[in-house]
Amino acid sequence: MAQAGPVSRALVSMTGVMPRWFVRWISRRYVAGAHLQDAVRVMKRLQSEGACATVDVLGEEIQSLEEATFFLEEYRRVMAAIVEHELDANLSIKPTAFGLLLDPTRGLDNIRRLVSEAADHGMFVRLDMEDHRVTDDTIRVVTTLHAEGLSNVGTVLQGRLHRTMDDIAALADVLGPLADHRICKGIYLEPASIAHTARADITEATIACVRHALDQGAYVGIATHDDRIINAAVEHLSTIGMSTVDDQRPDRPAVRNGKGPGYEFQMLLGVRGDLRRRLRADGHRTRVYVPYGEKWYEYSIRRLKENPTVATQVVKAFLMPWTNRP
C-alpha cells in the first residue's frame, strides 16, 4: 500500500463517522454537484479559462444490469447538454456502471451504444480504468469497438501496474496511431505482486509509461498533478519533436475533434488550478475531470478509503486554501 502520513491516515479512519455536511464541504471542491446543470455551470467556467472537460456521472459496479439503463440515459442527457451549450467536452465512463463486471457481453453492448451515439456528435468516450478485476475486459472493449469502426474510444492505463508498459505496446500494435490513452498513477491500491507500491517507484513508472506511449505514437492524456511527471513529459515532448501546436511524429492521424496535437494535460476538478492555468499559458491543451451526480457522498468516501494520500489534499485545502486554487 502507498505510504500515507499520520494526518491522512487519521482522517481516513474517521470516514465512517464524518457528518454528511462535512463530507459535502470536502466534496464541493472536487465534485461539480448532484445535477447535470451543476456540471454544465462548472464546464462553462473552465471553458472561459481555456480548459476543456471530461464529464463523469458518478456511480459504478452496479448490482443488476437494469441499473445500467440509468447511466446510458444520463450520459445521453450529458451529450445533449454538451451540444446545446457548445462545450469543449467529452465523456468519461466507468465500465462497471454499464454492467461489464456482471456480464461482459451485455456490458460491452451497453458501452457500444453510448460510443456509437457519441460518434454521431464527434465526441470521445474515455473508459476509466477500475481495479485489476476488469483491466483485461476494459482493454478488450476498446480493441473490439475499434475493430468495429468506432475509434472515438480509449481507456485509462495506470502507471503503478507492472503490466502497463506491455499494454501500451500491445495497443499500439492493434490500434496503431488511433491508440488513445489517459496515463495516470492510478488510484486503486493493488497488491505488490501486480503493482508498484512505493511512491517513488509509482512516479518513475508513470513517467516511463508516458514516454513509452508517446514514443509508440498514441494520443496521450497526461493525467497528473505531480510536478516531476509534468516536467519529464514536457522535456520528452521537446525531445521527440512535438510542440504545443504541432505533432511532428510520422504517421499520425489528423487532429480529431476536441483533441490536441498528440497529447494534453489532464487534472481533477479542484486540484492545482494554478498549475493548470500555467500549463495553458505555456500553450498546452488542458482538460479537467468533472464528476457529478447523486453519488457524490459515496465517491468522496471511496476516494479517501482507497487512497489515503488523497486526504492530504483535503487537509491542505482546509488549512491553506490559498495554496490550492481550483
DSSP 213-265: HHHTT-EEEEE---HHHHHHHHHHHHHTTB-SS-B-STTPPPPPTT--SSEEE
**Does 50 share its domain with 164?**
yes
How many Å apart are CA 284 and CA 276, to the nearest integer? 9
| 189, 275: one domain | yes
Query: Which pLDDT value is given to residue 1?
Result: 36
The DSSP string of 50-87 is T-EEEEEES--S-SSGGGHHHHHHHHHHHHHHHHHTT-
Q: Are 95 and 128 in contact (CB under 8 A)?
A: yes
Q: Identify whether the C-beta of residue 294 lies closer than 8 Å to the C-beta of residue 302.
A: no
Q: Give the domain CATH number at 155.
A: 3.20.20.220
Secondary structure E strands in the chain: 52-57, 89-93, 125-127, 153-158, 180-184, 219-223, 263-268, 286-292
Residue 2 covered by a domain: yes
Q: Are residues 85 and 173 in the same domain?
A: yes
Cα–Cα nearest to 150, from 159, 158, 138, 142: 142
pLDDT higher than threshold 60 for residue 179: yes
E strand or H helix at 198: none
C-alpha grid cell, residue 57: 456521472
User: pLDDT tens across 71-117, in order?
Assistant: 999 999 999 999 999 999 999 999 999 999 999 999 999 999 999 99
What phi and psi values does residue 282 have, to the nearest 5 degrees? -80, 0
- Domain containing 21 equals 1-30+304-326
| The residue to which cell 482522517 is assigned | 11
pTM reported for the whole predicted model: 0.86
Tell whether 145 is covered by a domain: yes
Among 67-76, 258-267, 315-324, the range with the most confident prediction by mean pLDDT is 67-76
Read off the pLDDT of residues 190-217 as tens digits, 9 standing for 90 and up: 999 999 999 999 999 999 999 999 999 9
Q: For residue 242, name the pLDDT band (cuts at 50, 70, 90).
A: confident
Q: Which residues pair with 161 in a beta bridge?
A: 195
How many other β-carbons are positioned within 10 Å of the β-carbon of residue 216?
A: 20
Rounded Cα gap, residues 224 and 230, in angstroms: 7
- For the cut 60, the answer to whether the pLDDT of residue 240 exceeds it is yes
Percent over 90 (pLDDT), the chain: 67
Pair (75, 156) in one structural domain: yes
Residues identified as active-site:
128, 182
Percentage with pLDDT > 70 across the chain: 81
37 and 104 share one domain: yes
Q: For residue 46, tell me if it sits in a domain.
A: yes
Q: Is residue 299 part of a domain?
A: no
Regarding whether 150 and 15 lie in a shared domain, the answer is no
Q: Has residue 323 got a pLDDT over 60?
A: no
